[in-house]
Amino acid sequence: MAPRYVRVAVDGERGFIVDADVISGNDEPGATPQLINQIKEDYGQMAKQVLADALFSSGSLLKWLDDRGIEAYIPVDANVSVKDNPAIRDDLTQPVAVEDWPKLPRNPQTKKIDRSAFIYDESKDCYYCPMGKMIKYSKTVYGSNPVVESRRYECGHCIRCSLSSECLIGNSCFRTVTRDQYQELRDKALARMKTEEGKRNYGKRMWLNEGAFGLIKSWIGLRQFLCRGLDKVRTEWLWACTAFNLKKLAKVVLSIRLQVQLSLK
Ligand code: SF4
């Protein structure tokens, strides 16, 4: 049986649930355009921003959002700490200082220096590695399902490099960096997330989206579904989300009444 997951979309102002569903399958990013279009149909306006976790950082979704002018606040490199990345430096042709090598971001899977330590120079269409070496374009490789066109850049300076044991992956004698057609959008999303506005906006996600799930558990006590079957589970979930909105609405009305009472005193 295909996995199922519940989802909610929450408005960024007051935290009301504006769309909810139970989805069959495991392509949450792929189901997101339909969710956003549904919200547009229901409320007559397109979302301006989308805050979502790293699961939604697929290139095709970032493109879909970008094509519609929707700002994506989605962490694209959630598994790699790029905080204070010493590879981001003024002169890319100079090596990262030896004392900063331990701070170079590592890939959690390979344990090697992460691709985020390789900085792209758009004007020259090349990368610079942490040793300040230019990594030139070598060839384009194609993948299918989804269709991906990746430009591959290969370093020609790895032999005798002092960082090679921390940089080269597997038995390879040279380091490669690939750049698919979505990389520019990932870089854009990453840069957006690093701004003060990006941090503030993404910070809201915790209390908006995760808060809704948490409150449904604590307010309504829904920790597991009583029903079985997609349609029945969907109905149960929609009832829970409706109850959540009503409870929230009651709180808003109460707060307005209190404000009015205070203003009349
Ligand atoms: S191994 Fe190659 S790519 Fe890695 S830092 Fe050294 S020269 Fe640069």
pLDDT of residue 81: 59
Which of 138, 166, 133 is CA-nearest to residue 151?
Answer: 138
Q: Is the CB of 161 under 6 A from ligand 1?
A: yes
Residue closest by Cα to atom 4 of ligand 1:
167
* pLDDT given at position 84: 81
The pLDDT tens digits along the chain (265 residues) read 566 788 889 988 888 999 999 988 778 888 899 999 999 999 999 999 999 888 888 899 999 999 999 999 998 875 555 568 899 999 999 999 999 999 999 998 899 999 989 999 999 999 999 999 999 999 999 987 667 889 999 999 999 999 999 999 999 999 999 999 999 999 899 889 888 988 888 888 877 877 888 889 888 888 888 888 889 999 999 999 999 999 999 998 999 999 988 888 7
Distance 186 CA to ligand 1 centre (A): 23
Domains of the chain in start order, with CATH, are: 4-76+190-264 (3.30.420), 98-179 (no CATH)
Asked if residue 129 has its Cβ within 6 Å of ligand 1, the reply is yes
In one-letter notation, the amino acid at residue 58 is S
- Answer positive or negative: Cα dihedral of 81, 198, 73, 116: negative
What are the DSSP calls for the chain, one per residue? Answer: ---EEEEEEE-TTT--EEEEEEEESS-HHHHHHHHHHHHHHHHSS--SEEE--GGG--HHHHHHHHHTTPEEE--S-TTS--TT-TT--S-TTSPPPGGGGGGS-B-TTT-SBPGGGSEEETTTTEEE-TTS-EEEEEEEEEETTTTEEEEEEE-S--TT-TTHHHH--TT-SS-EEEEETTHHHHHHHHHHHHSHHHHHHHHHHIIIIIHHHHHHHHHH--SS-S--SHHHHHHHHHHHHHHHHHHHHHHHHHHHHHHHHHHH-
The minimum-distance atom of ligand 1 relative to the CA of 135 is 3
Residue closest to 171 by CA, chosen among 118, 232, 124, 110:
110
Using the mean position of ligand 1's atoms as its centre, give its distance from the Cα of residue 134 in Å.
Answer: 10
- In ligand 1, which atom is closest to the CA atom of 167? 4
pTM of the shown model: 0.78
